[in-house]
Amino acid sequence: MKKIILGLTVIMVAVLAIGCTHSSPKSVAKAYLKAIQKKDAKKAADCFYYDKSKSKEDIELAHKTMESMAEKSIKGVDEKGGIDSFNITNVEENGDKAVVKGTVKYGNGEEEEKNISTVKKDGKWYVDDSK
């Protein structure tokens, strides 16, 4: 039984670590915005990088923290009628960092310019939370 639980835990940590990996800053920004649009805080949290050298408990805690942050973002977006659409207008790449710029249109008709910072780790792009 312990081996089964350990095996499931290892799989869960692996999924958390690679949940929303993408080959470009634009693709990870789109995945993040789509998750917020669909009110899926877990998927939005999957778009962040979690240091694989950390313990599984630390990774799970970091993921839960990002999930809570995503839930707050979703709540704010809901107050504006949800995300109606988003349009990525530019990607400014500088080595292993990039800023994805675009416009988000909300259900209430309001439009907002957004910049999503991204970072490349282990050959994959993630939303960057290190501000």
Domain range for 22: 2-125
Query: Residue 48 domain-assigned?
Result: yes
pTM over 0.85: no
pLDDT for residue 22: 76
- Is residue 34 helix, strand or coil? helix
Query: Residue 131 domain-assigned?
Result: no
Query: Residue 14 domain-assigned?
Result: yes
Could you give the number of structural domains in the chain? 1
Angle at which helices 56-78 and 25-37 pack, to 10 degrees? 60
Q: What is the mean pLDDT of residues 40-69?
A: 96
Query: Residue 130 domain-assigned?
Result: no
Alpha-carbon distance 98 to 89, whole Å? 13
- Is residue 30 helix, strand or coil? helix
> Mind listing the pLDDT tens digit for each residue in 11-34?
444 443 344 657 899 999 999 999
Q: What CATH number is associated with residue 98? A: 3.10.450.50
